[in-house]
Amino acid sequence: MLTDLKSLNLTELQEIVPGFKGREVFRFIHRHLKEKISDLTCISLSEREQLAEKYFISNLDIQKTSNEKEAGKVAFKLSDGNLVETVSLKDKENRVTLCVSSQVGCPVQCLFCATGKMGFKRNLTVSEILSQVYHFAKGEKISNIVFMGMGEPFLNYENVLAAARILNHPLGQNIAARKITISTVGIISGIKKLAETPEQFRLAWSLIAPNDGARGELIPSKYNEPIDKIVAALREYQRTTRRRVTLEYVVLKDKNDSEKDAAQLVKIAKQLDSHVNLIPYNPVKGSFYMEGNKGALFSYLKKAGVNVTIRQSRGRSISAACGQLAMHHE
């Protein structure tokens, strides 16, 4: 079995190619985005030939590309035939945010999310995560990475973190840690681990509903932990890291948009150094949910002194908006 060079961090790579040459190989793969060992011209031909006996550089095949004005979506075909989607979003200043997938499907299975309806196939490898980013990085500078694509990043913690560190590396894409956000439904073990990492990666919590009853209906899975326990873990995380947390809240009609819900949401937001991001519900085939009253919710939170914004929904027409990613062989 050949080993994939793209998945190795600098220390691991330098065990194969020592010293300065190892740094150059790392730079060629992760900054210059070279896709074949024969393209690693920073080392001699004979060194490349030797490397190629045991190692390779993996890539993803493109199954389908869709574009609209401010968003693009690529469906990648993995080596085992599975498919994942990655979304590129542009803002008015032309900053590019990539919404990256961490799993094929998702085991959490939130009812309002298309990815959840796929079930769970497997975790993505470090290089499968990186290859999504590098496809887009060939054409434009990437400003932000959000692990909010398909899957629950904290259920593939090691690979997500390894990929984030390579993306952050000065010899690679050199994306600032504060520009890399990892989103979780509230996996407490992942929150605790992230608190111990020296890099200042951002954390977002998909809160979805402000009480355990409503949350349990929308996320009927074993991964849905009690809100007070998640809040306690986030408070501990903030004591250690001093980093603000984003609370992501998909607004669903008659499910989580009442005044009572708003009051409970304020209570949670005020226990943390937090920013609430109200997300419009994006229609999913076969789903009976409807978009809730985000304007009223926004006004209530603002009046209560909560940091709050409404996320602009981009990519809806190409099923690239939040909650719409799902791959079926067409």
Which residues are identified as catalytic?
A: 85, 322
C-alpha distances in Å from residue 240, one per residue of 191, 196, 268, 273: 11, 8, 19, 13
What is the spatial distance between Cα 207 and Cα 210, in angstroms, rounded to a whole number? 7
What is the spatial distance between Cα 176 and Cα 329, in angstroms, rounded to a whole number? 36
What is the spatial distance between Cα 49 and Cα 71, in angstroms, rounded to a whole number? 41
What is the spatial distance between Cα 187 and Cα 176, in angstroms, rounded to a whole number? 24
Cβ proximity of 68 and 318 under 8 Å: yes
